[in-house]
Amino acid sequence: MEKIICLENINYHYHDAISALTDISLEIKRGERFAIIGANGTGKTTLLQIMNGLISPSSGKLFFKGDEVLKQTLKDKGFLRFFRGRVGYVFQDSDVQLFCPTVLDELLYGPLQLEIGETEAMDRAFEMMKMLNIEHLKERPTYMLSGGEKKKVAIGSVLTMNPEVLLLDEPTNGLDSKMQCFLVELMLALNEAGKTLVIATHDLSLVDELQATVGVLSEEHRMEKTGSAIDILKDEELLLRVNLIHEHIHRHRDIAHRHIHSHYLFHRHENS
């Protein structure tokens, strides 16, 4: 499979002082589902923003389809259209992403930027609203939406540009279980439709549901391990080390148990 995103020895420091990423190298292939997992503050969002060319690494290289993405090349109109039209980014906080007056304007923004004709842009927006079941919200200002609706609009606003790669930052964070299920189904359907998905999350159940290739970030901001979801989720010692699972005590009637807990996979008792 063709390599679509390639990172080589990426380092990132905030204000030349605080390290956010240390020597990250990874390859993402076309049509792959890739999950970057790690505890809070490990640099997942920073890594995703580097992949989208939103921030530039302190050192290291980013390649998209073999072309190096640089601050300078992103200033060129030709390359910018090529890159931004193919790589979409869904922010964790939908509020910051939605800046147009209404839901319809939001969905039209991307296609109009791509200079797609207004009729086609409208068609895309309406098809998207139908798919996401938000047709009734068409004229509503985005600040009048619920958390789940905002997330749908945020994803829709990126999808109307028809990107090849979709970068999603904590997509299921703060959503109810019904909305989470909807999102998982949507991501799988989009992947089947040929989209490459890159997700930053600490939700291990999401990783399992997507059966993604996983890159584990350590608290030292390094890529600790990459592998299949099965291999990574099996590796208790690794998940404990990177603080994605922990030991806790809970009670079954009068008996207290101490066991490894991730709210998902390792809810397992020693005696069972």
Where on the chain is the footprint of another protein (CB under 8 A)? 14-18, 49, 52, 54-55, 65, 67, 73, 75-86, 88-89, 91, 93, 95-97, 99, 101, 109-110, 113-115, 120, 123-124, 127-128, 130-131, 143, 157-159, 161-162, 164, 185-186, 188-190, 192-195
For residues 130 and 250, which CB has a smaller minimum distance to another protein in the complex?
130
In the complex, what is the shortest distance from the CB of residue 40 to another protein, in angstroms, rounded to a whole number?
Answer: 15
For residues 41 and 231, which CB has a smaller minimum distance to another protein in the complex?
41
Structure-token pair, residue 244? 């994605």
For residues 120 and 139, which CB has a smaller minimum distance to another protein in the complex?
120
Single out the residue of 236, 227, 248, 182 nearest to residue 36, CA to CA. Answer: 227
Structure-token pair, residue 42? 């490990």
In the complex, what is the shortest distance from the CB of residue 260 to another protein, in angstroms, rounded to a whole number?
Answer: 34
In the complex, what is the shortest distance from the CB of residue 270 to another protein, in angstroms, rounded to a whole number?
Answer: 40
Q: How big is the chain by its Cα radius of gyration, in Å?
A: 20
For residues 181 and 230, which CB has a smaller minimum distance to another protein in the complex?
181
In the complex, what is the shortest distance from the CB of residue 72 to another protein, in angstroms, rounded to a whole number?
Answer: 8
Contacts of 51 (CB under 8 A, 6+ apart): 5, 7, 62, 87, 167, 198
SS3 170: coil
In the complex, what is the shortest distance from the CB of residue 59 to another protein, in angstroms, rounded to a whole number?
Answer: 19
Single out the residue of 224, 179, 171, 235 nearest to residue 39, CA to CA. Answer: 224
CA distance 20 to 32: 25
In the complex, what is the shortest distance from the CB of residue 16 to another protein, in angstroms, rounded to a whole number?
Answer: 8
For residues 54 and 230, which CB has a smaller minimum distance to another protein in the complex?
54
- Check if the beta carbon of residue 218 is closer than 8 Å to that of residue 42: yes
In the complex, what is the shortest distance from the CB of residue 76 to another protein, in angstroms, rounded to a whole number?
Answer: 5
Contacts of 238 (CB under 8 A, 6+ apart): 216, 224, 225, 232
Interhelix angle 103-113/118-132, nearest 10 degrees: 130
Burial 61-85 (b: 16+ CB within 10 A, else e): ebebbeeebeeebeeeeebeeebbb
For residues 152 and 266, which CB has a smaller minimum distance to another protein in the complex?
152
For residues 8 and 127, which CB has a smaller minimum distance to another protein in the complex?
127
